[in-house]
Amino acid sequence: MVPQSIMLAWGKAASRNHPHVLQHIIHTLHTIIQQSKQHPQVYTYSAVSSANAHDMSHSAASLLLPDSFIPVETPLSTKLEPNSERIQRNFWPKVDLLLTIGGDGLIVHLCREVYRHSRVPRLAAFGIGSNYGFLTPFRAEDFEFHATRLLSTHRDPASVIVRDRLFTTFLSRNQLQSEPLTLDETRIQSMKNSLHEIHQNSTTNHEIPRETRHTDRNPWFMALNEVALERADRPKVCEVDIYCNRSYV
């Protein structure tokens, strides 16, 4: 199915280190859109934190966006964490296809923060420079070929790989031994209720209810392809048992 709306997103690596490649990609996408019979709406998103905005000003100013492209301005902190409430309520449009220019970090940012409480649209990720990753199967140099294929009705349809985002929490051995079944059932139901309420609110009034943000006794978070654990100052060896849907991994 040809998308009706597209988001082109890039990170600081593309903006700072490869502005000419990024400009060529923007021009290429505009040309493909003009030649398309569908003429989908195109949004652009620069995932650059406010702390680096001054450093990026020279390269960002050199980018020329077509008049038909709509830039999405989102409030970012120095840690590249947008205000999810403002994005859901005012800024972030619904799109059918997400094109990213950058590395795995950009995809993690989009999946964890921007699309934290909603489905991630179809995603085509293009690595740039030395940003080889698990989640960026395409190269920026091949953008024209893949984008033309995705937006054309006359070529073979592109295959889609389904990926799951895991809602993850950490439980200590003492917690598992004290209430192994009750705790697990309670936590799963609590997460389901919270996600259902957040989804209902985000699809109606685009606002995340305050009471469902951090109500869980043990915080949970989103994981894509990996989770990094830091032992901090504990000298002991950490033993980790991983379960997914109650199955030992």
What domains sit in the chain, N to C, each tagged with a CATH number? 5-151 (3.40.50), 166-248 (no CATH)
pLDDT of residue 11: 87
Contact 117, 128 (CB under 8 A): no
Whether pLDDT at 79 is above 70? no
Q: Pinpoint the alpha helices (H) of the chain.
A: 12-17, 19-35, 53-61, 84-86, 104-109, 143-151, 173-178, 180-204
Q: In terms of pTM, does the model score above 0.85?
A: no
Whether pLDDT at 204 is above 50? no
Pseudo-torsion of CA 82, 106, 134, 146, nearest 10°? 130
pLDDT of residue 28: 96
pLDDT tier, 226 (very low <50, low <70, confident <90, very high otherwise): low
- Coil, helix or strand for 103? coil
| Higher per-residue confidence, 29 vs 137 | 29
Contact 97, 7 (CB under 8 A): yes
